[in-house]
């Protein structure tokens, strides 16, 4: 187990860490987003734990079995040289009302408990404002990767990112210089 009080970078999977292929559980179709490998490497070298947090409603919708996500996690570990410290996902449908589905902070809170993470020293990086809201609600600083995936732009204080980056590479630069 990690030392208590360490910082983490929580990263959304689809559209942020990897190219967004809806409901994909085929490891062969998992491809890293621009700058993602470099960013994760830099986070790890900078002393951050790197933890994926992802909504995966395809489980609840019956599109794939929960167990299929293990192969996706293995593929990500292989692509990133084993630098992921955790892989958390919400398997519930959007209407389920659970605490783990982003924009709820549940996945981040669970990961923080299990990895001894200091949320106030941590960051949430995502490509939509639900990711940002989850990070803020958990007590993290936030960085939006503005790659065109956010289409609604309903900004409230909880959905306002601390930083905006063009890609994961720029997100890493912002975070490591903060």
The residues near 44 (Cβ < 8 Å, ≥ 6 apart) are 50, 83
Q: Rounded to whole angstroms, how far apart are CA atoms 25 and 159? A: 29
Q: Rounded to whole angstroms, how far apart are CA atoms 148 and 129? A: 12
- Give the mean model confidence (pLDDT) for residues 43-47: 97
What are the residue numbers of the active site? Answer: 12, 14
The pTM score is 0.95
Domains for the chain: give ranges and CATH numbers: 8-176 (3.40.50.1000)
Q: With 60 as the cut, is the pLDDT of residue 156 above it?
A: yes
Per-residue model confidence as pLDDT tens digits over 54-73: 999 999 999 999 999 999 99
Q: Are 118 and 86 in contact (CB under 8 A)?
A: no
């Amino acid at each position: 187990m990690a030392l208590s009080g360490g910082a983490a970078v929580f990263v959304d999977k689809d559209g942020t860490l990897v190219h967004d292929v809806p409901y994909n559980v085929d490891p062969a179709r998992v491809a890293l987003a621009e700058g993602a490998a470099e960013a994760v490497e830099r986070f790890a070298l900078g002393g951050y734990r790197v933890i994926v947090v992802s909504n995966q409603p395809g489980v609840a919708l019956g599109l794939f079995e929960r167990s299929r996500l293990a192969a996706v996690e293995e593929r990500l570990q292989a692509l990133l040289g084993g630098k992921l410290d955790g892989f958390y996902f919400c398997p519930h449908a959007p209407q389920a009302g659970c605490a783990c589905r982003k924009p709820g902070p549940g996945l981040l809170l669970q990961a923080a408990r299990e990895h001894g993470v200091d949320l106030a020293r941590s960051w949430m990086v995502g490509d939509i404002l639900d990711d940002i809201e989850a990070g803020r609600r958990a007590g993290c600083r936030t960085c939006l990767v503005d790659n065109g995936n956010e289409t609604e732009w309903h900004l409230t204080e909880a959905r306002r990112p601390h930083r905006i980056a063009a890609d994961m590479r720029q997100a890493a630069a912002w975070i490591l210089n903060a």
